[in-house]
Amino acid sequence: MGDAVNPKNHMTTFPKTPATIGSSLIPVINKLQDILASSGTELSDISVPQVAVVGSQSSGKSSVLEALVGRDFLPRGCDICTRRPLVLMLESRPPNSEDDRSEWGEFRHLPGRRFYDFSQIRREIQIETEREAGCNKGVSEKQIRLKISSPNVLNMTLIDLPGITKVPVGDQPSDIEARIRRMIMAHINNENCIILAVSPANSDLATSDALQIAKLADPTGSRTVGVISKLDIMDRGTNACNFLLGRVVPLKLGYVGVVNRSQEDINKNRSIQEALAYEEQFFHDHPVYNGVSDRCGIPQLAKKLNLILEQHIRRDLPRLNSELNSRLHAAMKELQMYGEVVESKAEQGAILLDILRRYCDDFSAMVDGKIQDMSTKELCGGARIHYFFQSMFVKPLEEMDPCESLSDEDIAYALKNSSGLRNVLFVPEVPFEVLVRRQIAQLLDPCHQCLWIVYDELIKISLACESTGLQRFPSLRRHINEVVRKFLDAAAKPAETMIENLIEMEMDYINSSHPSFIGGNKAVEFAMQQMRSSKERVDTERVSTSEKGQISQTVAASSVVNGVPNQGNRPQSHNERPVSAGGSSSTRTWGISSIFGNRASSMGTAAIASPEETIHEVERMSSSIQLREPPSILRPVEMSENEATEIIVTKLLVQSYFDIVRKNIQDLVPKAIMHFLVNHTKRNLHNTFIQILYRENLFEELLQEQDEVVARRKHAQEMLCILRQAVKTLNQVESDVESQHRTTNSGADACPGLPRFSDLTNGRNNSSYISSSSKPRARKLLY
């Protein structure tokens, strides 16, 4: 940079666009950003159109920003300088201000304090950066917000992001590059963010870090403006014309070439004005860049950013207005839930009555299925209770088999025990009633389970009725829960008693005359049919084996004559003796010996014995027979066909009567639970609340707010105030836009509405910057 241009005789100013373009829109949006930023991170997700500056270290980002402001105010150094996002809001103000000091800066974290010395602004940026990110090259995502008011700037909002670095230094972590990239992406991923990608001219544009990261967030290049910096230090014989014309990496918003101050210029304290004068002279005298003057220079860059930002704001106004109003309504609703602070007894009583009434209304609505915020994902409230009755009580009882736990032996014992000394002629009533009562008693436990399942569900419903208005009073909440639990406990007792009475009623009187009962005759008929069917199946199975049995039956028949075994066909044992001719040909023995089985005797050795010998032999045999001790548990012998029929009849009777009882229980138990527990709670809970809780001496204790609720109410009030200011500010913007639109349409020669870029990349006659009066060649201005 030489001394060819004297800054005292030359004053380069930014091109003045019409007063309607960005003159009121961008400053108001800046004000809106300040309002939203005052909420901390609460409203940080509301995106506002702005320009984010990205680039690698030493790409010239800081020089470009300082040139746009016209002042030296950013920290500089050989290492990373921007270590926190710097939100820079430029606000143009009239040059004829009454205040002699027409330029100043104001930080968001120091409201009301103006910095007229821009070196102090640099110092404050360093202090605030070190306070948050440390003193040894650390980075932080927390923003620094700085507003600069000056007559020498155009309205716009810029975000200076940390430069992309490769190698960590100082206290920087090993993944510093990834962290910085995440920080940059968090800003430029916003569709309302214009990306200002700064790339040095002395490097390959195809490998530019700024353009690469911009392409990740903006693949189409529709919201990226390229800046080619350091055009004056390119190798001799080369130029960046292809870069500026978008022939290497095309961008829809085009490129702007700039000349940065060198480190030597900074060391010699050469001002920004001198740098702008040198830049103008450089482009004016350059044989190539003189032909693309609309794409060169800081003034052209400022004007382009101003116009693009204003257009983005205009397009985004409906979305921004809708989002702010939605947040405003949500904040009003939240504050309404917390309620107002009350102190008088009358107000406390009214609030308590309202809370208790709404609680009971919500309880009844959930049970009846009339709740407004009805879930579409799961069953809730009364639908769950109905599900419990049908699927967890009625259905399991329907699947219950009363004879599953009754074996044939159990029934046989019951039948024989009930007959006593007599033989069983018919199925007696006593064993049937004993067996059916035992099965009915098994219904009591599932009935109790059903009652307590509904009880637990009512507890859940009561907890779901705790609105935000109730949560602000923890003492009242505890008292309500205690009253509800005691009320349900008291209501469950008569329900439980009623269920037990129902089971006892069924057990106490077995109504065998019930019209649905199968009865003895029909049961016997069914049993006989079942026995015949079983016998036919057995006979059918034996048909296949009957032919094999015919041979053995023929052999057996030949050995029996008139029912007497043929002794000639049987080998004689060593215990048998031949019988005399006068004796009987039958070898069967009769008398007491047949009771205990056929036993070998020495009497068979003689055909005829004397009476004395016979009596003596009988006495001797009697003395040798000993009866066994009876076992402690007697089990019946193998059951006969009649006994099997009796067992089947008994099972049919038990099954038939149990079905009658089961239907009664399935119908009456849910009715008892609904009457004594559910509907009783709906009818009488509110009166119980009034009797126990609505006492003037309890008002202060019950309505004591917890500290968290007080803090939340205060926070909600602050958010509501901020959102109201934001909506009011945005309404002012829309009013100005409508007024501008009417004014524009009323003038015949006026520009039709908002200026639009028909071709930012190729329209070389679209704009230019103002040269000094000493320059004979004056370039055309936009409009």
276 and 222: one domain? yes
Domain count within the chain: 2
320 and 431: one domain? no
In a domain, 131, yes or no: yes
188 and 298: one domain? yes
Q: Which of 198-212, 263-277, 391-405, 619-633 has the lowest mean pLDDT?
A: 619-633
Query: Is the model's pLDDT at 185 over the cut of 90?
Result: yes
Dig out the tokens for 463 from the structure. 């907890």
In a domain, 267, yes or no: yes
The predicted model gives 500-505 an average pLDDT of 94
Closest C-alpha among 74, 205, 224 to residue 146: 74
Helix (H) or strand (E) run with residue 407 in it: none
247 and 364: one domain? no
In a domain, 1, yes or no: no
Q: Name the average pLDDT for the chain.
A: 76
In a domain, 204, yes or no: yes
359 and 500: one domain? yes
281 and 358: one domain? no
Read off the CATH number of the domain in which 177 is found. Answer: 3.40.50.300
Range of the domain at 359: 351-371+380-521+640-702
Specify the pTM: 0.56
Closest C-alpha among 473, 549, 493 to residue 677: 493
> pLDDT (tens digit, 9 = 90+) per residue, 425-434?
455 566 778 8
Q: Which of 658, 678, 702 corresponds to the end of one domain? A: 702
384 and 253: one domain? no
Highest mean pLDDT among 20-29, 478-487, 711-720: 478-487
In a domain, 389, yes or no: yes
Residue 215 pLDDT: 93
The predicted model gives 400-424 an average pLDDT of 64
CA distance 242 to 735: 43
In a domain, 580, yes or no: no
In a domain, 390, yes or no: yes
Residue 400 pLDDT: 80
Contact between 316 and 49 (Cβ < 8 Å): yes
260 and 390: one domain? no
Read off the CATH number of the domain in which 508 is found. Answer: 1.20.120.1240
Q: Which of 702, 726, 748 corresponds to the end of one domain? A: 702
Three-state secondary-structure class, residue 292: helix
386 and 247: one domain? no
> pLDDT (tens digit, 9 = 90+) per residue, 749-760?
433 333 333 334
229 and 358: one domain? no
Q: Which of 665, 685, 702 corresponds to the end of one domain? A: 702
178 and 293: one domain? yes
In a domain, 589, yes or no: no
Confidence grade of residue 421 (pLDDT, cut at 50, 70, 90): low
Q: How many CB atoms lie within 10 A of CB 334?
A: 17
Radius of gyration in angstroms for the set of CA atoms belonging to the chain, rounded to a whole number: 52
91 and 201: one domain? yes
DSSP character for 509?
A: -
Query: Is the model's pLDDT at 416 over the cut of 90?
Result: no
